Homo-oligomer: A and B are copies of this chain.
Amino acid sequence: MKHLLLPLTIISTLITPMMANANNSVDKVSLKNAHQLRDTALKANLGFDIVESLTVEVGPRLAGTKADLIAVAWAENKFKSLGFDKVYKQPVQVRHWERGSAKANILAPYPQSLAITALGDSVATPKGGLKGELVFFDSVDELSHANPKDVKGKIAYIDARMHRHLEGKEYSTTVAGRSIGSSVASEKGAIGLIIRSVGTDSSRMPHTGNMRYKDGVKKIPAGAISTSDAMMLMAMKKRGKAITVNMELNTKMFKPKTSYNVIGEITGSKYPDEYILIGAHLDSWDEGTGAIDDGAGVGIVMAAAHAIKQYKPKRTIRVVLFGNEEGGLIGAKEYRKANASELHKIKLAGESDFGAGSIWRFDSQVHPDNLDVMAHINKILKPLSINDGDNKAGGGPDVSILPEVGVPVFSLRQDGTDYFDYHHTPNDTLDKINPSELAQNVAAWAVVAYVAAQADEKLLALPKKKAK
C-alpha cells in the first residue's frame, strides 16, 4: 500500500449502521451458498499457498525490473492453473528505478554507521557519497517554516514519529516527510534529505517508499534511516555538538518499461457483462519479498474468486492484479483510462492492500438503492467478527479512483496494528502472515464478491456528486 485510505481514516469516528434491511434482493439458495462459501474458505489454505508461491517463486518484484515481468508470468500461470475462464493482461508504462546499494556514516562527533535506504525515485549521491552537517526538524512542516540560512548547504533531517494503530493512523501525516520532504528541503537550500523511517517498529531496518520531486526544484538525494538509528541520532544530538554525515545512495533511473495489469475472470452465468472487481497489486518494493504488501492481497482475491467459481456466480468475478501501485497507482490509472468506455459495467469494486490482519469492519460506497444487498453481506460477515460499517468506503488504493467515475466500491478493513512495523522494509516476508487471519480475509472477500454477483436487483452506479 502506498496511499493512505484517507477517507477511511476521516470517517472512522462516524460509524453509522447501514440503513437498509436485508430483503429478497438475493435469492435463498445464493444466501445459503454464501454461508457455505464462507465456512469452507475459512478452513482452506489456498490464500496462504498463493502468497507462499509468489514470495518463494518470484520474491521481490519492483516495477520495471525483470522480476516484475516474472511476476506477471507467474500471475497468468496461477490464474490458469486455478481454472479462471479468461486470463489476460493489459500493458502499463512504468518508471524503472533501482535502489542499488546505500550506506551512511556519522563522521563526527562520534563515528558510527547508520542503516539507511534510498527513497523510491531518489537521485543518486555523487560516488563516494554526499557529506554534510545535519540540520534537525521534527516534521516537514517545521522544515517548511525554517529560515533558509539555517538549511543551506546542509543535509536536512526530519524526525517525524509514528505510533502503532489499528487503522494505521499517523501514516497520512508522517508520510509527508517522505513524499515531499526532499522538495521542501531543496527549496530551502539543503543538499540532501534524511528522514526517520515512516514506521512503527523499533528495529534497525529502514522503510523505503515513494517520493516525488516537485517540478523545477533541484533534485537532492533522499534516504530513510531506521527508527533505531533515529533514536541513536537524537541521543547524539542531545550531546550538543554538530553532527556531520556521509550518505551514499547508488540509485539509478532507467528508461520507462512496459509492465502489466494481470486479469483473471470467472465468467458470470447470467450477467457475464457485469463485473464484480476484486483487486490487489502485483508489484512490490525490492527489499522484502512483498508478502504483506501486497502478496497477501493477491492471495486473498485470487483464492476468494477461486472459491466462488464452483458456485457459478451470476455476474462475472474479475480479479485485477494492478501493476506498479507503489509508483503511484500507475497500473490503476491505466486501467481506468483503457477501460473508460466500459467502467459502468463494474458493479462493485474493492482492493485488498493493507496486509493480512483480520478484517474487523465492512464498509461500502454504493447507490442507496443497493444498500439492501450490503445488508445481506453484513449478516453473513457477522460470524467472522466483522462489524457493519458505513456507506463511505474508499475501496483501497488502486480502486479509490473509481468512485469518481461512478463505480461503487467496498472496503473490508483489516487490523493494521503491526502493518507499519514491516511495511516497505526487508522484513516484509511470508513469516509475518498468520495463515488463519489470511483465511478469514479470503472468506470475507468471497462472501462480498459472491453475494454482489448474485443480487437479483440492478446494481446502480454511484449518484453524481454535487460540486463542492
A interface list, Cβ under 8 A from B: 52, 55-60, 110-113, 115, 202-205, 227-229, 231-232, 235-236, 239, 288-289, 425-427, 429-432
Contacts and interface: CB of A to CB of B under 8 A. Distances in A.
A364 to B, nearest CB: 35
A112 B426 contact: no
Nearest to A58: B110
Contacts of A432: 202
A433 to B, nearest CB: 11
Contacts of A110: 56-59
A228 to B, nearest CB: 4
A235 B430 contact: yes
Contacts of A60: 112
Contacts of A111: 59
Contacts of A231: 429-431
A304 B435 CA distance: 47
Nearest to A425: B204
How many copies altogether?
Answer: 2
A232 B112 contact: no
Nearest to A66: B111
A228 B3 CA distance: 27
14 contacts: A56-B239, A57-B236, A59-B110, A59-B112, A59-B113, A60-B112, A115-B426, A202-B431, A203-B427, A204-B205, A204-B425, A231-B430, A232-B289, A232-B429
Given A57-B239, A59-B110, A232-B289, 20 more contacts: A56-B110, A56-B236, A57-B236, A58-B110, A59-B111, A59-B113, A112-B289, A115-B426, A202-B431, A202-B432, A204-B205, A204-B429, A205-B205, A227-B431, A228-B427, A228-B431, A229-B429, A231-B429, A231-B430, A232-B430
A60, A205, A228, A288, most chain B CB atoms within 10 A: A228
A202 B52 CA distance: 16
A205 to B, nearest CB: 7
Contacts of A56: 110, 232, 235-236, 239
A69 to B, nearest CB: 13
A175 B52 CA distance: 29
Contacts of A425: 204
A204 B427 contact: yes
A434 to B, nearest CB: 11
A263 to B, nearest CB: 24
A18 B229 CA distance: 45
Contacts of A236: 56-57
A236 B52 CA distance: 9
A60, A427, A430, most chain B CB atoms within 10 A: A427
A66 B39 CA distance: 62
A230 B205 CA distance: 18
A408 to B, nearest CB: 38
Nearest to A52: B235
A112 B58 CA distance: 8
Contacts of A429: 204, 228-229, 231-232
Contacts of A228: 427, 429-431
A1 to B, nearest CB: 19
A287 B426 CA distance: 16
Contact of A204 (B55, B232, B426): B426
Contacts of A203: 203, 205, 427
Nearest to A115: B426
A59 B288 CA distance: 27
A72 to B, nearest CB: 15
A288 B228 CA distance: 10
Nearest to A227: B431
A275 B169 CA distance: 56
A112 B60 CA distance: 8
A110, A236, A431, most chain B CB atoms within 10 A: A431
A251 to B, nearest CB: 17
Contacts of A427: 203-205, 228
